[in-house]
Structure 1
């Protein structure tokens, strides 16, 4: 029997069985909650948000998701598409600052369940940090993936990285240090990013 030590999974084992019985799309329900950290939302913009994947391929696996519920990219307005694209760029910057990956995979499951998407009716983009040698014998031979960081720790690192981006909204007074980086961002609230038009 293969055994992998993953103590953070106890949260999944001990969760409320009805917690997943939410009405509606999780990409619509989670941003409406007043608990960004619990929902794992690390950043928001006017039209999109970034959320950690609860079942990551690698530490830092996030999804960039438009606020509007649609299964078609073509249904989004130009402003929504531009906001989503800019948030992807900011997310890659935050991933590089927080985790220092050697590369990032970006992907979208288009066309519903046939394309492998578990949530086909709300478009989104996966960003997965990659490191040279991050695939080893465990997934190849043992059919087991080892995650080296708990989601809460990844959240903290990404939250701090997003807060330091130039697009981060000011906090407390002007809320910026001498280099113009945002600071003292509430760790329980998603970092608010604003892009110039």
Structure 2
């Protein structure tokens, strides 16, 4: 009888150990899955936070253009509707006083932006540059590029009704003008070096053709 009791007790102990081991394995599996789920959620939240920051980030009163180093106008300032911005591959947000500077910054650094944004002329909200509707106008812009941007046809029509001289334009049109100015600037910089640092012509170009209003 004692022998049978010993066998039964041993079997029960083994069964209990197996159950305990199974429960621990299940708990470990659940904990691992929960940790992975938490990490994924945190990563998604971080990504959403960064996206939100890029889409809604604003310049402050001391922000200068990443290309020409002139003042970048804030949303509520005159000509603030012409401010542009871009995000780099490493998450940096760069501001520009006019759209041509944004394109020439990429031309100068040879680093394509991850995203580009311009403001809707009427609502002042940020919109992707590649999706914006564009009008070439006689309206004064910070660097005299003269382009206004719109999020949709309704916003565009609201502008064209008040600006009969406006004409449709494309991103390629803007880039062609920006490139022309950039090459001219590079040529003047070379001439400046050839004339012992006397850069009067270069200075006049930057603050005459492209310069901000005082």
TM-score bucket of the superposed structures, by smaller chain: under 0.3
Give the number of the structure whose residues are more often helix, by fraction: 2
TM-score, normalization by structure 2: 0.22
TM-score, normalization by structure 1: 0.24
Larger RCO (CA within 8 A; separation ≥ 6)? 1
